[in-house]
Amino acid sequence: MDDLLQDVLTMECMVWDALVSGDTRSYRAALSEDFEGVYPDGFYGREDQIATLTTGPTVAAYQLSQERVRRIDDDHALLSYHARFQRAGQTAWEEMRVSSLWRREGAGWVNLFSQDTPEGRPVP
């Protein structure tokens, strides 16, 4: 399982690195054509996600922790983790929990689905 975690985590970091650098080519390569993202401000498909980088990087810095992976089958894995990050042009750090579903394609992986949940206390 450690190899699977490392493989998928490496790809997830490539996504974050694309957000830091504003690299739309790498971002596009990491997301499947039918990618779906679920975020506090709505649903995003692949092209919606890529469009967020049209004005440049969206993230200045990030740190991932508490990583865990669940093998769904031979070609799918669910990665969950805690992310701490600074948005581009901001000084405050934000935190969230992320779950992303990855599919093996050839020698690599593509991201099928991602859901970001802002860190915070549940509302009673």
The average pLDDT across 85-103 equals 96
The average pLDDT across 97-108 equals 95
Read off the pLDDT band of 106 (50, 70, 90): confident
Other C-beta atoms lying within 10 Å of the C-beta of residue 123 = 4
Mean pLDDT of the chain: 94
User: What per-residue confidence (pLDDT) applies to 15?
Assistant: 97
- For residue range 60-69, list pLDDT tens digits in order: 999 999 999 9
User: What per-residue confidence (pLDDT) applies to 107?
Assistant: 85
Which distant-in-sequence residues (6+ apart) come within 8 Å of 75 by Cβ?
Answer: 103, 104
User: What per-residue confidence (pLDDT) applies to 21?
Assistant: 98
100 contacts 77 by C-beta, under 8 angstroms: no
